Amino acid sequence: MIKRIYNCLYKRIFIFIFIFCIVIVFFSLTNVHSKKIVFSKINPTENINKKVIIDNCEKYNMSIYYPNTKNSKVNNNIKFIINNYKRRIKYDTKHFIPTDDKDKVIMNIDYNITSVNKEIISIIFLVDYRYGQITNKEIITKTYNLSTGEELYLNDMFDEKLGYSDLLSIKAREALINNKKIDNRNLIYFIDDINFSNIKSFDGYTFSNSHLSIYFNSNKLSSKFIDIYEIQIPWIEVEHLLKNNILLIK
């Protein structure tokens, strides 16, 4: 009798463990599938509205355009960036008295959007900041998953084990060397920066369904050197470095 009870108990435990394992495998497969990133061509501004802030006073003129998405977490992150710039111009002009309207501090912020698919977008904030005789142009880039609100990085697309950072750095150096707009003195600074800090020298990057863009802010070199440089690397050239869950359109 006792033996039968133990056998019955063991069978129930075995069945429970078996069902538990099936459930774990199922959710694992579902999770892997949900993380799959498929590139597709869509309108990157679909379901995204443009917001504007205009603030002109005796000290500065400020115009800011920024996107408003369907995800509140993403919108809060964007507002944090915008608010930092609003605080910046107010701080810079706290004790500033312009001689006339032409002497005002000017800050204009606009943006562009690229997309990998309907869920993943990259936002490029273009900042034009003029303070006296100094003109400063810079960018901020962010990539978001609009379904989860999470920010995405290079590590979300590339496999670290394959040493993608080295290849991206090499391609960035080659593109800069071939850029005829950069004189040799400025080029040396760019190249030294990449050689020293690898992909940490990138001032931004964005994803689209056709290519990866890498950006360099020129203001790291000179306040008189105002161009922003974009390097486009087609995904097909770095396909072997992408993670297994990345599916390109061919």
DSSP state of 151: B
pLDDT tens profile 145-196: 999 999 999 999 999 999 999 999 999 999 989 888 787 877 888 888 888 8
Q: Which is more confident, 137 or 145?
A: 145
Look at residues 92, 85, 202 and name the one whose alpha carbon lies nearest to residue 141: 202
Encode pLDDT of 65-112 as tens digits: 999 999 999 999 999 999 999 999 999 999 988 888 889 999 999 999
> Please, are residues 65 and 111 in contact by the beta-carbon 8 Å criterion?
yes
Residue 27 has pLDDT above 90, yes or no: no
Quote the crossing angle between the two packed helices 164-177 and 184-197, to the nearest 10°. Answer: 180
Please state, in angstroms and rounded to a whole number, the distance separating the CA atoms of residues 189 and 82.
30
Q: What is the pTM of this model?
A: 0.81
Q: pLDDT above 70 covers what percent of the chain?
A: 82
